[in-house]
Chains A and B, each alone.
Chain A
């Protein structure tokens, strides 16, 4: 009778096979499109338009990628510039967002101060306001601040992400108060507690939040299309999107297949790097 060992089992048992078989069809359904994206990007022209259409690539080629490169080189601003913009913007935004989010999550979950409940409420409501609706008012605000064509217009609107704060706060609340009290008893300041008690314990939440923020920033087109008129300041996502939409021609098909893989890969890689932390049990860090 080892009923208690069911969650997070260490060894493979026959009982698990049942579960695997049960969810396998769903897993295949969910995974198929991704396999398709990867295959599609390496298909040569004749396979892209083959009849009957093929799912897997037969004769893999980098044709689509070189075509994409050549096209972007001929359009004035090289692809590398867009890539550079995207990388810089993403790094700054994710870094800032994580710092501000964890700090505020600590404050909202564990520090008692006036206005805490109100702030929590406002943040919660903000999650529910559809971003399309704030686009125009946000544009007006950015105009007023003189941030049009400024790098900050990529960063600042996405730094405060109510969803990420909500997520991290949920985890911080689970850190036992007794642990904090023990730290305070040893004379720790709030900053010490934040850095040495809270941060190590909420790593899974930080990992999850960074995936969340990264995806928002990496795939964001709004900032480029509304807050920037200077093309050399726009991001890779924006460029790729114009490519797909404008080039709806025969040659465009191959390029958009390549573009979709390029846009998809960073998300995948980040997730693979962080998945261990995301799904890690907090047991190892002291929370039971």
Chain B
């Protein structure tokens, strides 16, 4: 009896505490600003303000020396009507690159992540390390590596191999041949597309609730692909979304491969992507206003696709959570 009384007393205590806490939960909790304050401050100074300045610059004519001159929408009009390179090379290249590397890379990294999660830990670890390693090969390492492989004379690895196999009889000058430039950049893009999104997908798949798979197999989910679509993906939507955003951003904002490999502008604009176009105007021609306008256009494109990914991959009633609750009952 005494125990019972003590218990009720305790529950009452907890109840009042819960009430108090619930109130502080529901209301506008200013502690949020304490936690986000430092980040918000640095973010504002080094990201937000520069972005806003860039947007303002996009409405000006700015050569980095004289004070910017306001020109209204002139830069944007020029992009759409008067930039031959943009319409003829840059935009088509970017679209092809984004479709192949963005979508291809995303699907590939999901399938690979899923495949790896079906393997034992040691095997998975080694494979994940190898698949992720291209993402670590940036800058210097990447330049050296691919320049040697695609070297235009007989000492180039690819040339030497192809000649040995009898596919070609004389060396192909890969990095100046306009036919091969874009495919080469795409291959390198795909090669390095198992990035941080891929890692987060592995973590996401490994975190899925194992008991759901058992339940599903009783409910008639029979093969692995059904399992993948009905159990795995709905449970790891946050990671899927993260990886999707990374894939979209990577697909549209990658200019490094071109500029590292063949310089800017690329021969015949054959592998000129949007980012290279921005660099071309901003740092070679010093037309900062125009470069800023292109980057705003790029932002809008990326934003458009990310919104799409958001719509697809955020749900108000996560399947996984619901499933777990049902399981508990």
| A residues at B contact (CB < 8 Å) | 1, 3-12, 15-16, 19-20, 22-23, 26-27, 29-31, 33-34, 36-37, 40, 49-53, 55, 100-101, 103-104, 106-108, 111-116, 119, 122-138, 140-141, 145, 156-157, 159-160, 162-163, 165-167, 170-171, 173-174, 181, 184-185, 187, 190, 194, 204-205, 208, 211-212, 215, 219, 221, 237, 240-241, 244, 256-257, 259-261, 263-264, 267-268, 271-272, 275-276, 278-283, 287-288
- Cβ-Cβ contact count across A and B, 8 Å cutoff: 342
State whether B238 touches A170 (Cβ < 8 A).
yes
B191 interface contact, C-beta 8 A: yes
State whether A37 touches B137 (Cβ < 8 A).
yes
Q: A6-B213, A111-B31, A185-B17 are in contact. Are A126 and B139 (CB under 8 A)?
A: no
Q: A29-B191, A33-B145 are in contact. Are A106 and B35 (CB under 8 A)?
A: yes
State whether B202 touches A165 (Cβ < 8 A).
no
Q: A185-B17, A194-B35 are in contact. Are A264 and B141 (CB under 8 A)?
A: yes
State whether A283 touches B196 (Cβ < 8 A).
no
A284 to B138, CA, bound (A): 34
> Contact check: which of A101, A185, A279 meets B203 at CB < 8 Å?
A279
> Contact check: which of B112, B140, B291, B299 meets A23 at CB < 8 Å?
B112
Q: Shortest distance in angstroms between A27's beta carbon and chain B's nearest beta carbon?
A: 5
Q: A16-B120, A275-B128 are in contact. Are A112 and B27 (CB under 8 A)?
A: yes
State whether A126 touches B199 (Cβ < 8 A).
no
B253 / chain A contacts, CB cutoff of 8 Å: 130-131
A124 / chain B contacts, CB cutoff of 8 Å: 245, 306
On chain B, the number of residues with a Cβ less than 8 Å from chain A's Cβ atoms is 122
What 1/0 flags go to B245-265 for Cβ under 8 Å of A?
110110011010000000000
B101 interface contact, C-beta 8 A: no
State whether A132 touches B255 (Cβ < 8 A).
yes
Comparing B49-57, B79-87, B176-184, the segment that makes contact with chain A is B49-57
Closest A residue, CB atoms, query B117: A7
State whether B144 touches A7 (Cβ < 8 A).
no
Q: Is the interface of B mostly helix, strand, loop or mixed?
A: helix
Q: Shortest distance in angstroms between B117's beta carbon and chain A's nearest beta carbon?
A: 5
Q: Is the interface of A mostly helix, strand, loop or mixed?
A: helix
| B residues at A contact (CB < 8 Å) | 14, 17-18, 21, 25-36, 38-40, 42-43, 45-51, 53-54, 57, 64, 108, 112, 115-121, 123-125, 127-141, 143-146, 148-149, 154-157, 160, 164, 191, 194, 196, 199-200, 202-203, 205-217, 221, 224, 227, 232, 238-239, 241-242, 245-246, 248-249, 252-253, 255, 275, 278-279, 282, 288, 291-292, 294-296, 298-299, 302-303, 306, 324
